[in-house]
Amino acid sequence: MSGAHPDARPFAPGPALLFVPGDRPERLPKALDRADAAILDLEDAVAGHAKTVAREAMIAADPDPDRVIVRVNGPETPDFAHDLAALAETRVRTVMVAKAEDPASLAPLEGYDVVALCETARGVVNAEHLAALAQVVALMWGAEDLVASLGGTSSRFADGTYRDVARLARSRVLLAAGAFGKRAIDAVHVDIGDLDGLALEAQDAAASGFVASACIHPGQVETIRAAYAPTPEQLRWARGVLAQAEEGAFRFEGRMIDEPILRHARSLVARAGK
């Protein structure tokens, strides 16, 4: 039921994934110095006339296969096959597929670890089928392309919070990933200056079960990392409850504790990395 390949490596890049334009690979070292992993973007960050140059630059840059994910153009585009041909000349083994929709379209990526980016209406409603694929290690969702695919004009209200359709898509992608034992990545917060909003969004993502948030500016990295890190009080509680764990239900600090709550505590300790 998990849909995991028996030889698949666990997908655990760290909480802050920073996009880097594919035609600017010289930015990769700085991005990797700031963030937990980099997403070298051959899709939206690169103009159509520059995509060939971007592929050549990616090959020449020889990206770190352990910390670089390459986002390729959608399978329905002519650029998809060109991106895969260029990718084959690098050591990169983790690929993010833009506008993933049809599970069959990911067949050419056998042998890669695939992050399926569900950012269209069709992609979101097919999230479960994408998550079931053995080569898919994670799902990500995208708000702006999703709303555009619906003919809408904005994914958020004036106060910066998501509209219901975006919240539904976010939840559906997270649930689909979890149902098949895969990881989920939260969408970018496009308002670069809104660090308070980013912090609240990333805190919610971590508490809900996302393992990472993507970002588009180095200035967003530390806010995301801080949001995913448990607070000292959360960590104190988690360690305390695990130290007193008993079989069945028991009481700790006035709260009834059973196995689901113990799993929450284990997750907090795991996120702390110690």
Q: Is 162 helix (H, G, I), strand (E, B) or coil?
A: strand
Neighbouring C-alpha atoms within 13 Å toward the C-beta of 260: 2
C-alpha of 221 from chain center: 14
Q: 3-state SS of the chain: helix, strand, coil percent to 5? A: 45, 20, 35
List the beta strands (DSSP E) in the chain.
16-21, 37-41, 68-72, 94-97, 113-118, 136-141, 183-186, 212-215, 250-252, 255-257
71 is in an annotated binding site: yes
Q: What angle do CA 186, 107, 205 make, to 5 degrees?
A: 10
186 is in an annotated binding site: no
Neighbouring C-alpha atoms within 13 Å toward the C-beta of 68: 27
246 is in an annotated binding site: no
Can you give the length of the chain in residues?
274
31-62 burial string, b = 16+ CB within 10 Å, else e?
A: bbebbbbbbbbbbbbbeeeebeebbebbeebe
**Which tokens belong to 173?**
């992608």
Rama region for 160: left / alpha / beta (φ>0; ψ in -120 to 50; rest)? left
Binding-site residues for substrate, in ranges, read 71, 119
Binding residues for Mg(2+): 119, 145
Q: Which residues are annotated as a binding site?
A: 71, 119, 145
